[in-house]
Amino acid sequence: MLLNVKNLRKDYQRGQQTFAAVNNVSFSMQSGDFNCIMGKSGSGKTTLLNMIAGLLTPTQGKVTFNDVNLFELDDQQVSAFRNQHIGYIPQGSSLLPNLTAIDNIRLPYYLTKRPNKSSFSYAKSLLEKAKVSYLQDVYPANMSGGEMRRIAILRALICQPQIIIADEPTSDLDEESSTDIMQLLKEINQQGTALLIVTHDHDVANYSQNILKMSAGRFIE
């Protein structure tokens, strides 16, 4: 099993009350699966995604990738594991403003040691694949919202992860840019990379094989 999420829970404090932002969530994914998570604002989607990506420690439960339990690793090991196996695309703009598109894409490659390999030609081929070679030496300030999202997707791909996890990859984009982004993600999925996407958009969700609906921290039917 590529990803196994078991009885995952995250408690937060609001005033004197403790509440479960994510409450006993379980599901699994195989390589090549494409799942989408939908739900109202505040239903716990980002909290769930951040735990799955190893960015947030759960109050209870387990996340395993290929039988490696993320929360048995120390911080440094989790970062290295995420960098190698998980392509994470956070909400909003996440590019570094002082790096060009190609250097933004290559950045994760340098965060873990990879001797005897060059990322430049692979990053160039990703730009070509996404039909945005013209952005190679452009800084984020001079890109449109849709272009920045495409570069963030390519950055998530540079380490050839088995799964891409994306939090609202099409939010704030017009219909045409959303379609471009989803076409790119669909191609990535067809080449065998699993996708787990949070979205509010039914058109985006329709690209997936399986829609998981979330309400008040739980998956509902």
Ligand X SMILES: Nc1ncnc2c1ncn2[C@@H]1O[C@H](COP(=O)(O)OP(=O)(O)OP(=O)(O)O)[C@@H](O)[C@H]1O
Residues that bind ligand X (CB under 6 A): 12, 21, 39, 41-47
Nearest approach, Cβ of residue 8 and ligand X (Å): 12
Burial 16-44 (b: 16+ CB within 10 A, else e): eeeebbbbebebebeebbbbbbbbeeebb
Q: Give whichever of 104 and 199 is closer to ligand X, judged by the CB atom.
A: 199
Closest to 212 (Cα-Cα) out of 61, 43, 85: 43
Nearest approach, Cβ of residue 44 and ligand X (Å): 4
Helices 120-129 and 101-111, axial angle in degrees (round to 10): 130
Nearest approach, Cβ of residue 16 and ligand X (Å): 13
Q: Give whichever of 154 and 166 is closer to ligand X, judged by the CB atom.
A: 166
Q: How many CA atoms lie within 13 A of 69 on its CB side?
A: 8
Nearest approach, Cβ of residue 41 and ligand X (Å): 3
Are 25 and 49 in contact, with CB atoms under 8 Å apart?
A: no
Q: Give whichever of 43 and 162 is closer to ligand X, judged by the CB atom.
A: 43
Are 171 and 122 in contact, with CB atoms under 8 Å apart?
A: no
Cβ contacts of 215 within 8 Å, gap of 6 or more: 39, 40, 43
Nearest approach, Cβ of residue 136 and ligand X (Å): 32
- For 108-192, where are the E strands, in sequence order? 163-167
Q: Give whichever of 123 and 197 is closer to ligand X, judged by the CB atom.
A: 197
Q: Give whichever of 124 and 200 is closer to ligand X, judged by the CB atom.
A: 200
Are 194 and 31 in contact, with CB atoms under 8 Å apart?
A: yes
65's tokens: 């990738």
Q: Give whichever of 45 and 85 is closer to ligand X, judged by the CB atom.
A: 45
> Vertex 122, ends 166 and 148: CA angle to 5°?
40
Nearest approach, Cβ of residue 54 and ligand X (Å): 16
